[in-house]
Chains A and B, each alone.
Chain A
């Protein structure tokens, strides 16, 4: 999985609870991303970070929050405001942020499956 770890692999949450998903990379990549994957749909971008202490909302950021205090770590918190949080969550990293270069290959972690009970 390219030096990116996500934990836990499976996570169960009761309605109304916040939960934090972990993502760590040892690839020395500057950029990190969080995606959500639902059956029959392409991956959708939640948040991304191009550099430490900076992050940007993606296409579906409502109900989620992130932090980037260290280059290696980009945790995602699913808050109680997220109306439909049950999904497969994927973290990714790339060596550079998007900068007009042709190649910006993203390497993915193994994913966390979150189920709201």
Chain B
């Protein structure tokens, strides 16, 4: 069964600290993996997208890694800011993009 599991469910960190969010998937055949940021009451916005051959991709303070062998991805946020408070959603596409599976998200709270 194609699944995407994210951990932790929620996370509270102090402003300026780093954090890492995890995504494990059982999607096959793998096409690509994306990380989205979703502010409360808004639509998701793409942060990174990686294919099978890419194992790291950065977007400013966000760095995503992908281990296609273990089917794991992580999103590392450096020097967190209050505006990083949001849900982070891991999305995996399979079968050439015909099937897209969304994780439930990790809710990040950054405190001053």
Contact = CB atoms under 8 A, between A and B. Distances in A.
Check if A and B associate: yes
Contact of B43 (A99, A103, A108): A108
B110 interface: no
Task: Report the contact-size class of chain B (Cβ under 8 Å from the partner).
Answer: 20 to 34
B95 to A, nearest CB: 8
Task: Report the contact-size class of chain A (Cβ under 8 Å from the partner).
Answer: 20 to 34
Contact of A108 (B41, B45, B96): B45
Contact of A42 (B41, B95, B103): B103
B76 to A, nearest CB: 21
A41 B103 CA distance: 7
A99 B97 contact: yes
Given A108-B43, A108-B44, A111-B41, A102 B31 contact: yes
B43 A42 contact: no
A43 interface: yes
Contacts of A102: 31-32, 51, 97
List of 8 A-B pairs having minimum Cβ-Cβ separation, nearest first: A108-B43, A42-B102, A100-B96, A98-B97, A104-B97, A43-B102, A98-B98, A102-B51
Given A102-B32, A103-B97, A111-B41, 16 more contacts: A2-B45, A6-B43, A40-B104, A42-B105, A90-B44, A98-B95, A98-B98, A100-B96, A102-B97, A103-B32, A104-B32, A104-B97, A104-B100, A106-B100, A110-B42, A110-B43
